[in-house]
Structure 1
Amino acid sequence: MTPGRFGHFVAIDWSGALGERHRGIAVALAGAGNGAPVLVRPGHRWSRGEVLDWLLRDLPGDALVGLDLGMALPFADCGAFFPGWDRSPPDARSLWALVDRICADDPHLAAASFVDHPEAALHFRRHGGREGARFGGGGQKGGRGRLRQTECAQEAMGCRPCSNFNLVGAAQVGKSSLTGMRLLHRLAGRLPVWPVDPLPDRGSVVTEIYTTIAAMAAGRPPGRSKIRSHAELAEALAALGSEPAAGSGPIDDHASDALLTAAWLRGAAHDARLWHPPGLDAVAHTEGWTFGAR
Protein backbone atom coordinates (compact mmCIF):
# COMPACT_ATOMS: atom_id res chain seq x y z
CA MET A 1 0.00 0.00 0.00
CA THR A 2 1.39 3.38 -1.01
CA PRO A 3 -1.16 6.10 -0.15
CA GLY A 4 1.45 8.81 -0.74
CA ARG A 5 1.52 8.02 -4.45
CA PHE A 6 -1.56 10.12 -5.33
CA GLY A 7 -0.94 13.29 -7.33
CA HIS A 8 -4.53 14.54 -7.71
CA PHE A 9 -7.39 14.77 -5.24
CA VAL A 10 -11.03 15.01 -6.24
CA ALA A 11 -14.05 15.69 -4.02
CA ILE A 12 -17.56 15.31 -5.41
CA ASP A 13 -20.58 16.71 -3.63
CA TRP A 14 -23.32 14.38 -4.82
CA SER A 15 -27.11 14.65 -5.12
CA GLY A 16 -29.90 12.09 -4.98
CA ALA A 17 -32.61 14.51 -6.12
CA LEU A 18 -35.04 13.73 -8.91
CA GLY A 19 -34.36 15.08 -12.37
CA GLU A 20 -31.42 15.22 -14.72
CA ARG A 21 -29.26 18.17 -13.63
CA HIS A 22 -28.61 19.28 -10.08
CA ARG A 23 -27.33 22.37 -8.30
CA GLY A 24 -26.28 20.02 -5.51
CA ILE A 25 -23.50 18.38 -7.52
CA ALA A 26 -20.05 19.96 -7.44
CA VAL A 27 -16.70 18.51 -8.51
CA ALA A 28 -13.43 19.96 -7.17
CA LEU A 29 -9.84 19.06 -7.99
CA ALA A 30 -6.64 19.71 -6.06
CA GLY A 31 -3.14 18.91 -7.27
CA ALA A 32 -0.11 17.97 -5.21
CA GLY A 33 1.53 20.65 -3.08
CA ASN A 34 -0.46 23.51 -1.60
CA GLY A 35 -2.04 25.10 -4.68
CA ALA A 36 -5.64 26.25 -4.63
CA PRO A 37 -8.30 23.63 -5.34
CA VAL A 38 -10.46 24.41 -8.35
CA LEU A 39 -13.94 23.56 -9.48
CA VAL A 40 -14.23 21.31 -12.51
CA ARG A 41 -16.52 22.99 -15.05
CA PRO A 42 -17.41 25.95 -12.79
CA GLY A 43 -20.95 27.17 -13.31
CA HIS A 44 -21.98 23.92 -14.97
CA ARG A 45 -25.04 22.12 -13.65
CA TRP A 46 -23.94 18.51 -13.59
CA SER A 47 -25.99 15.41 -14.20
CA ARG A 48 -25.10 12.18 -12.42
CA GLY A 49 -24.40 10.59 -15.78
CA GLU A 50 -21.92 13.34 -16.63
CA VAL A 51 -20.06 12.74 -13.38
CA LEU A 52 -19.80 9.06 -14.30
CA ASP A 53 -18.50 9.93 -17.77
CA TRP A 54 -15.96 12.36 -16.31
CA LEU A 55 -14.68 9.73 -13.90
CA LEU A 56 -14.27 7.19 -16.69
CA ARG A 57 -12.86 9.50 -19.38
CA ASP A 58 -11.24 12.59 -17.86
CA LEU A 59 -10.04 11.60 -14.40
CA PRO A 60 -6.26 11.92 -13.92
CA GLY A 61 -4.57 8.55 -13.68
CA ASP A 62 -3.26 9.08 -10.14
CA ALA A 63 -6.33 10.53 -8.38
CA LEU A 64 -7.92 9.83 -5.04
CA VAL A 65 -11.64 10.53 -5.55
CA GLY A 66 -14.01 11.15 -2.66
CA LEU A 67 -17.77 10.82 -3.17
CA ASP A 68 -19.98 12.45 -0.55
CA LEU A 69 -22.48 9.61 -0.12
CA GLY A 70 -22.91 6.35 1.72
CA MET A 71 -21.45 3.51 -0.36
CA ALA A 72 -23.60 0.88 1.35
CA LEU A 73 -26.28 0.29 3.96
CA PRO A 74 -25.97 -1.03 7.52
CA PHE A 75 -25.18 -4.74 7.68
CA ALA A 76 -23.21 -5.60 10.81
CA ASP A 77 -25.95 -4.72 13.31
CA CYS A 78 -28.43 -7.27 11.93
CA GLY A 79 -26.19 -9.54 9.87
CA ALA A 80 -27.96 -8.40 6.69
CA PHE A 81 -28.81 -5.28 4.75
CA PHE A 82 -32.49 -6.27 4.69
CA PRO A 83 -33.21 -8.83 7.42
CA GLY A 84 -36.22 -10.92 6.53
CA TRP A 85 -35.85 -10.51 2.75
CA ASP A 86 -34.58 -13.60 0.96
CA ARG A 87 -32.99 -11.42 -1.75
CA SER A 88 -30.90 -9.45 0.74
CA PRO A 89 -27.42 -9.24 -0.86
CA PRO A 90 -24.36 -10.71 0.86
CA ASP A 91 -21.98 -7.80 0.18
CA ALA A 92 -21.72 -4.23 -1.09
CA ARG A 93 -21.11 -5.06 -4.73
CA SER A 94 -24.17 -7.31 -4.78
CA LEU A 95 -26.15 -4.51 -3.15
CA TRP A 96 -25.07 -2.06 -5.88
CA ALA A 97 -26.09 -4.57 -8.54
CA LEU A 98 -29.49 -5.14 -6.92
CA VAL A 99 -30.25 -1.42 -6.67
CA ASP A 100 -29.20 -0.89 -10.28
CA ARG A 101 -31.24 -3.85 -11.53
CA ILE A 102 -34.43 -2.81 -9.75
CA CYS A 103 -33.96 0.80 -10.95
CA ALA A 104 -33.07 -0.11 -14.53
CA ASP A 105 -35.97 1.97 -15.89
CA ASP A 106 -35.33 4.99 -13.64
CA PRO A 107 -33.66 7.73 -15.73
CA HIS A 108 -30.59 9.75 -14.72
CA LEU A 109 -29.34 7.12 -12.24
CA ALA A 110 -32.34 7.77 -10.01
CA ALA A 111 -33.39 5.18 -7.43
CA ALA A 112 -37.09 5.77 -6.81
CA SER A 113 -38.02 2.25 -7.90
CA PHE A 114 -35.85 0.75 -5.19
CA VAL A 115 -37.44 2.59 -2.27
CA ASP A 116 -40.88 1.78 -3.74
CA HIS A 117 -40.07 -1.92 -4.00
CA PRO A 118 -42.45 -3.72 -1.60
CA GLU A 119 -39.66 -5.58 0.24
CA ALA A 120 -37.08 -2.79 0.29
CA ALA A 121 -39.69 -0.22 1.37
CA LEU A 122 -40.11 -2.04 4.69
CA HIS A 123 -36.69 -0.74 5.72
CA PHE A 124 -36.93 2.95 4.74
CA ARG A 125 -38.45 6.07 6.27
CA ARG A 126 -40.04 8.04 3.45
CA HIS A 127 -41.96 11.29 3.03
CA GLY A 128 -45.61 11.49 3.96
CA GLY A 129 -45.16 9.70 7.26
CA ARG A 130 -44.39 6.41 5.54
CA GLU A 131 -42.08 4.36 7.68
CA GLY A 132 -41.36 0.74 6.94
CA ALA A 133 -42.01 -1.83 9.64
CA ARG A 134 -38.30 -2.71 9.74
CA PHE A 135 -36.85 0.80 9.60
CA GLY A 136 -35.33 0.39 13.05
CA GLY A 137 -33.90 -3.06 12.36
CA GLY A 138 -35.45 -6.48 12.84
CA GLY A 139 -39.15 -5.98 13.47
CA GLN A 140 -38.76 -2.54 15.03
CA LYS A 141 -40.12 0.81 13.90
CA GLY A 142 -39.19 4.31 14.92
CA GLY A 143 -36.02 5.83 16.27
CA ARG A 144 -33.19 7.28 14.24
CA GLY A 145 -32.69 4.20 12.08
CA ARG A 146 -29.79 1.82 11.64
CA LEU A 147 -26.19 3.03 11.34
CA ARG A 148 -23.12 1.50 9.72
CA GLN A 149 -19.99 0.94 11.78
CA THR A 150 -18.27 3.84 10.02
CA GLU A 151 -21.15 6.11 11.01
CA CYS A 152 -20.71 5.02 14.63
CA ALA A 153 -17.05 6.02 14.27
CA GLN A 154 -18.12 9.38 12.83
CA GLU A 155 -20.43 9.92 15.79
CA ALA A 156 -17.58 9.23 18.21
CA MET A 157 -15.61 11.97 16.42
CA GLY A 158 -18.40 14.48 17.09
CA CYS A 159 -20.20 14.24 13.75
CA ARG A 160 -23.95 13.82 13.45
CA PRO A 161 -24.47 11.05 10.90
CA CYS A 162 -27.91 10.10 9.62
CA SER A 163 -29.09 6.59 8.77
CA ASN A 164 -28.91 5.76 5.08
CA PHE A 165 -32.37 4.21 5.50
CA ASN A 166 -33.78 7.67 6.30
CA LEU A 167 -35.04 9.51 3.21
CA VAL A 168 -36.65 12.44 5.06
CA GLY A 169 -35.23 15.78 6.18
CA ALA A 170 -32.39 18.09 5.24
CA ALA A 171 -29.75 15.83 6.81
CA GLN A 172 -30.84 12.64 5.06
CA VAL A 173 -28.29 11.00 2.79
CA GLY A 174 -30.29 7.95 1.75
CA LYS A 175 -31.24 9.24 -1.68
CA SER A 176 -27.68 10.28 -2.47
CA SER A 177 -26.43 6.90 -1.30
CA LEU A 178 -28.84 4.87 -3.42
CA THR A 179 -28.22 6.87 -6.58
CA GLY A 180 -24.50 6.69 -5.81
CA MET A 181 -24.71 2.90 -5.65
CA ARG A 182 -25.87 2.89 -9.25
CA LEU A 183 -22.78 4.91 -10.20
CA LEU A 184 -20.50 2.64 -8.17
CA HIS A 185 -21.97 -0.40 -9.90
CA ARG A 186 -20.96 1.11 -13.25
CA LEU A 187 -17.39 1.62 -12.07
CA ALA A 188 -16.91 -2.12 -11.57
CA GLY A 189 -13.76 -3.31 -13.33
CA ARG A 190 -12.85 0.27 -14.27
CA LEU A 191 -12.06 2.09 -11.03
CA PRO A 192 -11.51 0.39 -7.68
CA VAL A 193 -13.69 1.50 -4.77
CA TRP A 194 -11.88 1.39 -1.42
CA PRO A 195 -12.34 -0.50 0.88
CA VAL A 196 -14.71 -2.79 -1.01
CA ASP A 197 -11.74 -3.24 -3.32
CA PRO A 198 -8.19 -3.30 -1.91
CA LEU A 199 -6.06 -0.22 -2.38
CA PRO A 200 -3.93 -0.88 -5.48
CA ASP A 201 -0.30 0.16 -5.81
CA ARG A 202 -1.05 2.47 -8.73
CA GLY A 203 -3.93 4.13 -10.55
CA SER A 204 -6.91 6.13 -9.38
CA VAL A 205 -9.17 5.06 -6.52
CA VAL A 206 -12.69 6.04 -5.47
CA THR A 207 -13.81 6.19 -1.86
CA GLU A 208 -16.55 7.64 0.33
CA ILE A 209 -16.15 10.98 2.07
CA TYR A 210 -18.13 12.95 4.62
CA THR A 211 -17.47 16.64 4.07
CA THR A 212 -18.05 17.45 7.74
CA ILE A 213 -14.87 15.52 8.59
CA ALA A 214 -12.90 17.81 6.28
CA ALA A 215 -14.54 20.89 7.79
CA MET A 216 -13.69 19.71 11.31
CA ALA A 217 -10.07 19.17 10.27
CA ALA A 218 -10.08 22.81 9.15
CA GLY A 219 -11.30 23.96 12.56
CA ARG A 220 -15.03 24.18 11.89
CA PRO A 221 -17.37 22.74 14.57
CA PRO A 222 -19.72 19.97 13.37
CA GLY A 223 -22.79 22.19 13.69
CA ARG A 224 -21.19 24.92 11.57
CA SER A 225 -19.51 22.88 8.87
CA LYS A 226 -21.20 24.65 5.95
CA ILE A 227 -19.27 27.52 4.37
CA ARG A 228 -21.08 30.17 2.31
CA SER A 229 -18.49 32.86 1.66
CA HIS A 230 -15.11 32.89 -0.06
CA ALA A 231 -13.63 34.61 2.99
CA GLU A 232 -14.65 31.75 5.28
CA LEU A 233 -13.47 29.24 2.69
CA ALA A 234 -10.07 30.93 2.46
CA GLU A 235 -9.70 30.74 6.24
CA ALA A 236 -10.61 27.04 6.28
CA LEU A 237 -8.27 26.26 3.38
CA ALA A 238 -5.44 28.11 5.12
CA ALA A 239 -5.97 25.90 8.18
CA LEU A 240 -5.29 22.93 5.88
CA GLY A 241 -2.17 24.55 4.43
CA SER A 242 -3.81 25.37 1.10
CA GLU A 243 -3.83 28.51 -0.98
CA PRO A 244 -7.26 30.17 -1.27
CA ALA A 245 -9.69 29.25 -4.01
CA ALA A 246 -10.42 31.85 -6.66
CA GLY A 247 -13.38 34.14 -6.16
CA SER A 248 -14.91 36.53 -3.66
CA GLY A 249 -18.23 37.11 -1.99
CA PRO A 250 -20.84 34.39 -1.51
CA ILE A 251 -20.32 30.76 -2.52
CA ASP A 252 -22.84 27.95 -2.39
CA ASP A 253 -22.07 25.27 0.16
CA HIS A 254 -21.95 22.47 -2.43
CA ALA A 255 -19.00 24.16 -4.12
CA SER A 256 -17.31 25.05 -0.84
CA ASP A 257 -17.77 21.50 0.50
CA ALA A 258 -16.11 20.08 -2.61
CA LEU A 259 -13.25 22.60 -2.66
CA LEU A 260 -12.44 22.22 1.02
CA THR A 261 -12.65 18.44 0.96
CA ALA A 262 -10.39 18.16 -2.10
CA ALA A 263 -7.75 20.15 -0.20
CA TRP A 264 -8.28 18.01 2.90
CA LEU A 265 -7.88 14.77 0.92
CA ARG A 266 -4.50 16.03 -0.29
CA GLY A 267 -3.15 15.96 3.24
CA ALA A 268 -5.21 13.10 4.67
CA ALA A 269 -4.24 10.65 1.93
CA HIS A 270 -0.71 10.51 3.36
CA ASP A 271 -1.91 9.46 6.83
CA ALA A 272 -1.52 5.67 6.86
CA ARG A 273 -3.75 5.41 9.94
CA LEU A 274 -6.78 6.53 7.93
CA TRP A 275 -6.37 3.53 5.64
CA HIS A 276 -6.45 1.15 8.64
CA PRO A 277 -9.16 2.39 11.03
CA PRO A 278 -10.24 0.08 13.87
CA GLY A 279 -13.06 -2.24 12.84
CA LEU A 280 -12.55 -1.83 9.10
CA ASP A 281 -11.69 -5.43 8.27
CA ALA A 282 -14.99 -6.77 9.60
CA VAL A 283 -17.13 -4.55 7.35
CA ALA A 284 -14.92 -3.61 4.37
CA HIS A 285 -16.81 -5.77 1.86
CA THR A 286 -20.32 -5.24 3.25
CA GLU A 287 -20.76 -1.75 4.71
CA GLY A 288 -17.61 -0.15 3.34
CA TRP A 289 -16.10 2.82 5.15
CA THR A 290 -15.86 6.61 5.11
CA PHE A 291 -12.30 7.77 4.48
CA GLY A 292 -11.21 9.79 7.49
CA ALA A 293 -13.53 8.14 10.03
CA ARG A 294 -11.52 6.59 12.86
Structure 2
Amino acid sequence: MAETRFTRFAAIDWSGAQGHRHKGIAVAICDTGDAAPALVEPPEATAWSRDDVLAWLLDQTEPTLVGLDLSPAFPFVDRDGYFPGAPGSPPDARALWAMVDQASATDPHLAVSTLLTDPEIRRHFRQHRDCGDLFPGGAGRMRVCEHGQRAMGLSPTSCFNLVGAAQVGKSSLTGMRVLHRLASRVPVWPFDPLPPEGPVIVEIYTTIAARAAGIRKGLSKMRDATALDAALANLGSHPHAPLARYDDHATDAILTAAWLRANAHRPELWTPTAMTPHIARTEGWTFGVS
Protein backbone atom coordinates (compact mmCIF):
# COMPACT_ATOMS: atom_id res chain seq x y z
CA MET A 1 0.00 0.00 0.00
CA ALA A 2 2.41 2.66 -1.25
CA GLU A 3 -0.56 4.97 -1.74
CA THR A 4 -3.66 5.06 0.37
CA ARG A 5 -7.11 4.58 -1.09
CA PHE A 6 -8.66 6.64 1.71
CA THR A 7 -9.91 10.14 0.98
CA ARG A 8 -11.11 11.04 4.50
CA PHE A 9 -9.49 10.53 7.89
CA ALA A 10 -11.30 10.66 11.22
CA ALA A 11 -10.20 10.24 14.82
CA ILE A 12 -12.52 9.61 17.75
CA ASP A 13 -11.47 10.31 21.31
CA TRP A 14 -13.63 7.95 23.34
CA SER A 15 -15.08 7.82 26.86
CA GLY A 16 -16.16 4.93 29.05
CA ALA A 17 -17.66 7.19 31.73
CA GLN A 18 -21.11 6.68 33.21
CA GLY A 19 -23.97 8.72 31.83
CA HIS A 20 -25.52 9.68 28.52
CA ARG A 21 -23.53 12.51 26.95
CA HIS A 22 -19.81 12.98 27.45
CA LYS A 23 -17.48 15.95 27.07
CA GLY A 24 -14.77 13.33 26.78
CA ILE A 25 -15.92 12.21 23.32
CA ALA A 26 -14.60 14.20 20.36
CA VAL A 27 -14.71 13.45 16.64
CA ALA A 28 -12.40 15.17 14.14
CA ILE A 29 -12.17 14.65 10.39
CA CYS A 30 -10.15 15.84 7.40
CA ASP A 31 -9.88 15.12 3.70
CA THR A 32 -6.78 14.41 1.65
CA GLY A 33 -4.54 17.45 1.26
CA ASP A 34 -3.17 19.66 4.00
CA ALA A 35 -6.18 21.47 5.50
CA ALA A 36 -6.37 20.98 9.24
CA PRO A 37 -8.90 18.51 10.59
CA ALA A 38 -12.09 20.02 11.99
CA LEU A 39 -14.29 18.84 14.82
CA VAL A 40 -17.58 17.16 13.90
CA GLU A 41 -20.39 18.65 15.92
CA PRO A 42 -22.58 16.20 17.84
CA PRO A 43 -26.02 15.71 16.28
CA GLU A 44 -27.89 16.92 19.36
CA ALA A 45 -27.17 19.02 22.47
CA THR A 46 -23.59 20.05 23.15
CA ALA A 47 -21.88 16.69 23.63
CA TRP A 48 -21.70 13.29 21.97
CA SER A 49 -23.23 10.13 23.35
CA ARG A 50 -21.85 6.70 22.55
CA ASP A 51 -25.07 5.93 20.66
CA ASP A 52 -24.48 9.08 18.58
CA VAL A 53 -21.03 7.85 17.59
CA LEU A 54 -22.41 4.42 16.69
CA ALA A 55 -25.00 6.05 14.44
CA TRP A 56 -22.31 8.30 12.89
CA LEU A 57 -20.10 5.29 12.13
CA LEU A 58 -22.99 3.44 10.50
CA ASP A 59 -23.64 6.48 8.29
CA GLN A 60 -20.13 6.46 6.83
CA THR A 61 -20.03 5.29 3.23
CA GLU A 62 -17.03 7.15 1.80
CA PRO A 63 -13.50 5.67 1.91
CA THR A 64 -12.82 6.96 5.41
CA LEU A 65 -10.08 5.69 7.73
CA VAL A 66 -11.55 6.01 11.23
CA GLY A 67 -9.28 5.82 14.27
CA LEU A 68 -11.00 4.80 17.49
CA ASP A 69 -9.07 5.55 20.69
CA LEU A 70 -9.71 2.40 22.70
CA SER A 71 -8.51 -1.18 22.96
CA PRO A 72 -10.87 -3.42 20.98
CA ALA A 73 -9.92 -6.62 22.82
CA PHE A 74 -8.32 -7.93 25.99
CA PRO A 75 -5.01 -9.79 26.24
CA PHE A 76 -5.40 -13.36 25.02
CA VAL A 77 -2.02 -14.69 23.87
CA ASP A 78 -0.27 -14.51 27.26
CA ARG A 79 -2.65 -16.99 28.92
CA ASP A 80 -4.41 -18.53 25.93
CA GLY A 81 -7.70 -16.86 26.80
CA TYR A 82 -9.33 -13.63 27.89
CA PHE A 83 -10.73 -15.05 31.13
CA PRO A 84 -8.89 -18.34 31.77
CA GLY A 85 -10.94 -20.60 33.98
CA ALA A 86 -14.20 -18.73 33.47
CA PRO A 87 -17.00 -20.78 31.91
CA GLY A 88 -17.55 -19.83 28.28
CA SER A 89 -14.51 -17.56 27.96
CA PRO A 90 -14.81 -16.26 24.37
CA PRO A 91 -12.49 -17.79 21.75
CA ASP A 92 -11.95 -14.62 19.73
CA ALA A 93 -12.64 -10.90 19.68
CA ARG A 94 -16.00 -11.03 17.94
CA ALA A 95 -17.27 -13.52 20.50
CA LEU A 96 -15.88 -11.24 23.22
CA TRP A 97 -17.77 -8.24 21.82
CA ALA A 98 -20.99 -10.27 21.74
CA MET A 99 -20.48 -11.43 25.32
CA VAL A 100 -19.82 -7.91 26.60
CA ASP A 101 -22.86 -6.50 24.79
CA GLN A 102 -25.21 -9.29 25.86
CA ALA A 103 -24.04 -9.28 29.48
CA SER A 104 -24.77 -5.55 29.76
CA ALA A 105 -27.88 -5.43 27.58
CA THR A 106 -29.91 -3.80 30.35
CA ASP A 107 -27.33 -1.05 30.97
CA PRO A 108 -28.32 2.24 29.30
CA HIS A 109 -26.03 4.34 27.12
CA LEU A 110 -23.82 1.38 26.13
CA ALA A 111 -22.44 1.13 29.67
CA VAL A 112 -21.05 -2.13 31.09
CA SER A 113 -21.88 -2.05 34.81
CA THR A 114 -23.73 -5.38 34.80
CA LEU A 115 -20.88 -7.29 33.20
CA LEU A 116 -18.48 -6.12 35.90
CA THR A 117 -20.64 -7.60 38.66
CA ASP A 118 -20.43 -11.11 37.20
CA PRO A 119 -18.77 -13.20 39.94
CA GLU A 120 -16.36 -14.93 37.54
CA ILE A 121 -15.58 -12.02 35.22
CA ARG A 122 -14.91 -9.50 38.01
CA ARG A 123 -12.09 -11.71 39.31
CA HIS A 124 -9.94 -10.59 36.35
CA PHE A 125 -10.36 -6.83 36.86
CA ARG A 126 -8.98 -4.19 39.17
CA GLN A 127 -11.94 -2.02 40.13
CA HIS A 128 -12.37 0.68 42.74
CA ARG A 129 -12.14 -1.03 46.12
CA ASP A 130 -12.38 -4.42 44.40
CA CYS A 131 -9.25 -5.99 42.95
CA GLY A 132 -10.06 -9.40 41.56
CA ASP A 133 -7.97 -12.31 42.77
CA LEU A 134 -6.97 -13.13 39.17
CA PHE A 135 -5.69 -9.63 38.42
CA PRO A 136 -1.92 -10.29 38.37
CA GLY A 137 -0.88 -7.04 40.04
CA GLY A 138 1.59 -4.48 38.78
CA ALA A 139 0.71 -3.15 35.36
CA GLY A 140 -1.59 -6.09 34.69
CA ARG A 141 -1.85 -8.27 31.58
CA MET A 142 -0.86 -6.75 28.24
CA ARG A 143 -1.65 -7.51 24.63
CA VAL A 144 1.22 -8.26 22.23
CA CYS A 145 0.79 -4.86 20.56
CA GLU A 146 0.95 -3.18 23.97
CA HIS A 147 4.35 -4.74 24.51
CA GLY A 148 5.18 -3.17 21.15
CA GLN A 149 3.97 0.18 22.44
CA ARG A 150 6.29 -0.18 25.42
CA ALA A 151 9.18 -0.90 23.09
CA MET A 152 8.40 2.46 21.43
CA GLY A 153 8.80 4.19 24.79
CA LEU A 154 5.06 4.55 25.42
CA SER A 155 3.22 3.67 28.64
CA PRO A 156 0.13 1.56 27.89
CA THR A 157 -2.06 0.35 30.74
CA SER A 158 -3.82 -2.98 31.02
CA CYS A 159 -7.40 -3.15 29.80
CA PHE A 160 -8.17 -5.11 32.96
CA ASN A 161 -7.38 -2.07 35.08
CA LEU A 162 -10.45 0.09 35.71
CA VAL A 163 -8.88 2.41 38.31
CA GLY A 164 -7.13 5.76 37.90
CA ALA A 165 -6.95 8.57 35.36
CA ALA A 166 -4.87 6.53 32.92
CA GLN A 167 -7.15 3.47 32.89
CA VAL A 168 -8.53 2.43 29.51
CA GLY A 169 -10.62 -0.56 30.56
CA LYS A 170 -13.97 1.19 30.75
CA SER A 171 -13.44 2.85 27.37
CA SER A 172 -12.49 -0.49 25.89
CA LEU A 173 -15.51 -2.32 27.29
CA THR A 174 -18.02 0.29 26.14
CA GLY A 175 -16.26 0.38 22.79
CA MET A 176 -16.70 -3.37 22.44
CA ARG A 177 -20.45 -2.89 22.66
CA VAL A 178 -20.22 -0.43 19.77
CA LEU A 179 -18.02 -2.76 17.71
CA HIS A 180 -20.48 -5.63 18.23
CA ARG A 181 -23.39 -3.49 17.08
CA LEU A 182 -21.57 -2.49 13.92
CA ALA A 183 -22.04 -6.16 12.96
CA SER A 184 -19.33 -5.96 10.25
CA ARG A 185 -21.23 -3.18 8.46
CA VAL A 186 -18.08 -1.12 9.00
CA PRO A 187 -14.98 -3.34 8.89
CA VAL A 188 -12.63 -3.22 11.89
CA TRP A 189 -8.97 -3.90 11.07
CA PRO A 190 -7.30 -6.33 11.67
CA PHE A 191 -10.26 -8.45 12.82
CA ASP A 192 -11.63 -7.91 9.31
CA PRO A 193 -9.38 -7.90 6.25
CA LEU A 194 -8.76 -4.51 4.71
CA PRO A 195 -11.57 -4.11 2.14
CA PRO A 196 -10.94 -2.58 -1.30
CA GLU A 197 -13.46 0.23 -0.75
CA GLY A 198 -15.54 2.01 1.86
CA PRO A 199 -14.73 2.97 5.47
CA VAL A 200 -12.47 1.07 7.87
CA ILE A 201 -12.00 1.40 11.63
CA VAL A 202 -8.58 1.02 13.25
CA GLU A 203 -7.43 1.25 16.86
CA ILE A 204 -5.41 4.37 17.63
CA TYR A 205 -3.25 5.47 20.53
CA THR A 206 -3.21 9.26 20.48
CA THR A 207 0.21 9.47 22.12
CA ILE A 208 1.72 7.90 18.97
CA ALA A 209 0.43 10.88 17.01
CA ALA A 210 1.70 13.29 19.65
CA ARG A 211 5.20 11.84 19.53
CA ALA A 212 5.23 11.93 15.73
CA ALA A 213 4.21 15.60 15.91
CA GLY A 214 7.22 16.40 18.06
CA ILE A 215 5.54 16.61 21.46
CA ARG A 216 7.96 15.36 24.09
CA LYS A 217 7.23 12.62 26.57
CA GLY A 218 5.31 14.02 29.53
CA LEU A 219 3.93 16.87 27.41
CA SER A 220 1.44 14.96 25.27
CA LYS A 221 -1.47 17.30 25.79
CA MET A 222 -2.19 20.48 23.82
CA ARG A 223 -4.47 22.93 25.53
CA ASP A 224 -4.10 26.04 23.38
CA ALA A 225 -4.18 27.07 19.72
CA THR A 226 -0.45 27.74 19.41
CA ALA A 227 0.59 24.30 20.67
CA LEU A 228 -1.94 22.55 18.45
CA ASP A 229 -0.87 24.46 15.32
CA ALA A 230 2.81 23.73 15.99
CA ALA A 231 2.04 20.03 16.27
CA LEU A 232 -0.15 20.06 13.15
CA ALA A 233 2.62 21.77 11.17
CA ASN A 234 4.98 18.92 12.02
CA LEU A 235 2.47 16.57 10.37
CA GLY A 236 2.22 18.70 7.23
CA SER A 237 -1.09 20.31 8.15
CA HIS A 238 -2.19 23.93 7.95
CA PRO A 239 -3.37 25.74 11.12
CA HIS A 240 -6.76 24.78 12.50
CA ALA A 241 -9.89 26.88 12.78
CA PRO A 242 -10.17 28.29 16.33
CA LEU A 243 -12.06 26.12 18.81
CA ALA A 244 -14.66 27.28 21.30
CA ARG A 245 -12.91 25.20 23.98
CA TYR A 246 -9.43 23.70 24.03
CA ASP A 247 -9.25 20.43 25.93
CA ASP A 248 -7.34 17.17 25.62
CA HIS A 249 -10.19 15.43 23.85
CA ALA A 250 -10.64 17.94 21.03
CA THR A 251 -6.94 18.50 20.40
CA ASP A 252 -6.13 14.77 20.54
CA ALA A 253 -8.82 14.02 17.96
CA ILE A 254 -7.70 16.82 15.63
CA LEU A 255 -4.01 15.91 15.79
CA THR A 256 -4.61 12.17 15.42
CA ALA A 257 -6.82 12.66 12.35
CA ALA A 258 -3.94 14.61 10.78
CA TRP A 259 -1.53 11.84 11.77
CA LEU A 260 -3.74 9.18 10.17
CA ARG A 261 -3.76 11.16 6.93
CA ALA A 262 0.04 11.46 7.01
CA ASN A 263 0.62 7.75 7.73
CA ALA A 264 -2.17 5.72 6.13
CA HIS A 265 0.03 5.04 3.09
CA ARG A 266 2.79 3.25 5.06
CA PRO A 267 2.68 -0.49 4.22
CA GLU A 268 4.55 -1.53 7.39
CA LEU A 269 1.72 -0.18 9.54
CA TRP A 270 -0.73 -2.51 7.80
CA THR A 271 1.56 -5.55 8.03
CA PRO A 272 3.20 -5.42 11.49
CA THR A 273 5.95 -8.00 11.85
CA ALA A 274 4.69 -9.40 15.17
CA MET A 275 1.00 -9.60 14.20
CA THR A 276 0.07 -13.19 13.43
CA PRO A 277 -3.36 -14.26 12.16
CA HIS A 278 -4.11 -15.57 15.67
CA ILE A 279 -3.27 -12.19 17.22
CA ALA A 280 -5.30 -10.39 14.55
CA ARG A 281 -8.34 -12.52 15.43
CA THR A 282 -8.05 -12.41 19.23
CA GLU A 283 -6.19 -9.26 20.34
CA GLY A 284 -6.12 -6.93 17.36
CA TRP A 285 -3.45 -4.33 16.83
CA THR A 286 -2.80 -0.64 17.33
CA PHE A 287 -2.35 1.20 14.03
CA GLY A 288 1.07 2.83 14.21
CA VAL A 289 2.86 0.01 16.03
CA SER A 290 5.01 -1.63 13.38
TM bracket, shorter-chain basis: over 0.9
Task: Choose the corresponding residue for 1:51, options 50, 53, 57.
Answer: 53
Within 5 Å, give how 1:114-133 maps onto structure 2.
114-128=115-129, 130-133=130-133
Aligned counterpart, 1:292: 288
Aligned Cα root-mean-square deviation (Å)? 1.4
Cα 1:60–1:233 change in 2 (3 A) is farther
Partner Cα distance (1:277, 1:123) in 2: 29
Partner Cα distance (1:17, 1:261) in 2: 21
Q: Does the CA-based 8 Å contact 1:219-1:236 persist in structure 2? A: yes
Letter in 1 for 2:247: D
Aligned counterpart, 1:171: 166
Whether 1:263 aligns to 2:243 is no
Aligned counterpart, 1:203: 198
Quote how far apart the aligned CAs of 1:250 are.
Answer: 6.0
Task: Choose the corresponding residue for 1:187, options 182, 185, 191.
Answer: 182
- Consecutive unaligned residues of structure 2, counting only runs of 5 or more, are none
Q: Percent identity?
A: 58
Q: Does the CA-based 8 Å contact 1:193-1:207 persist in structure 2? A: yes
Quote how far apart the aligned CAs of 1:85 are.
Answer: 0.9
Quote how far apart the aligned CAs of 1:249 are.
Answer: 8.6
Partner Cα distance (1:35, 1:44) in 2: 25
Aligned counterpart, 2:215: 220
User: How many aligned positions are there?
Assistant: 287
Within 5 Å, give how 1:1-294 maps onto structure 2.
4-41=4-41, 44-57=46-59, 59-128=60-129, 130-136=130-136, 142-247=137-242, 251-281=246-276, 282-294=278-290
Quote how far apart the aligned CAs of 1:44 are.
Answer: 3.0
Partner Cα distance (2:67, 2:3) in 1: 14
Q: Does the CA-based 8 Å contact 1:229-1:249 persist in structure 2? A: no
- Relative to the length of structure 2, the TM-score reads 0.96
Moved over 6 A (4+): none
SS of 1:263's partner is helix
Letter in 2 for 1:133: D
Quote how far apart the aligned CAs of 1:72 are.
Answer: 0.2
- Relative to the length of structure 1, the TM-score reads 0.95
Q: Does the CA-based 8 Å contact 1:229-1:248 persist in structure 2? A: no
Q: Does the CA-based 8 Å contact 1:72-1:286 persist in structure 2? A: yes
Quote how far apart the aligned CAs of 1:144 are.
Answer: 1.3
Quote how far apart the aligned CAs of 1:121 are.
Answer: 0.2
Quote how far apart the aligned CAs of 1:115 are.
Answer: 1.4
- Consecutive unaligned residues of structure 1, counting only runs of 5 or more, are 137-141
Q: Deviations over 1:74-115 (max 9, x none)?
A: 000000000111211000000000000000000000011111
Partner Cα distance (1:110, 1:3) in 2: 38
SS of 2:246's partner is coil
Q: Does the CA-based 8 Å contact 2:2-2:266 persist in structure 1? A: no
SS of 2:282's partner is coil
Which stretch shifts more, 249-258 or 190-199?
249-258
Partner Cα distance (1:248, 1:192) in 2: 31
